[in-house]
Amino acid sequence: MYEDFHVKDLWTGEDLHCRWKANIVAIATRHADAVDVRYEVNGRAMWIALPCLAWVEQKKRTGKVITDGLAAQIAGRHLKGLIEQGYDASREMYTMSVEEVLEHLDAVLEELKQSHVLPSLPVLDGVTQDTSFIPTPSRQS
């Protein structure tokens, strides 16, 4: 859905290709209480910051968590909306409010009801990760 999509720029009519690149805990990089989701928009970095408090609020209201995949979908949906509304293309980072995160989460979940499948995040540059070291019940002796 929103891990790799095209959207038309409101002002120029240009087709923009938006691709998810990473979720980064912002505490480590900029000492912010957020998760930064990086997208490339026609090769240019664009960051959407989701406040960590949104994870707490989601857990309180539903008992469920926001996964990495859902965070990418939430940020991508928000980014698509920004572009369709004529976002300020000179900005590299946009910050969502807790309410915006939860609204986009509800919308993404509603869209997923139609497809019945949460898209997996893409493997970047053809590199796959070895997960054989991660203990799971089937790998434990």
Sheet strands (E) in 1-141? 4-8, 15-25, 34-41, 44-51, 93-95
Dist. CA 94–CA 48, nearest whole Å: 5
The pTM is what? Answer: 0.81
Dist. CA 14–CA 79, nearest whole Å: 15
| DSSP structural state of residue 120 | P
Beta-sheet strand order (sheet of 4-8) = 4-8, 15-25, 34-41, 44-51, 93-95
| CA atoms in the 13 A half-sphere facing the CB of 117 | 5
Q: What is the pLDDT of residues 72-103, one digit of tens each?
A: 999 999 999 999 999 887 789 999 999 999 99
Q: What is the pLDDT of residues 20-66, one digit of tens each?
A: 999 999 887 888 899 999 999 999 999 999 999 999 999 999 999 99
In 10 A of CB 122, how many CB atoms? 12
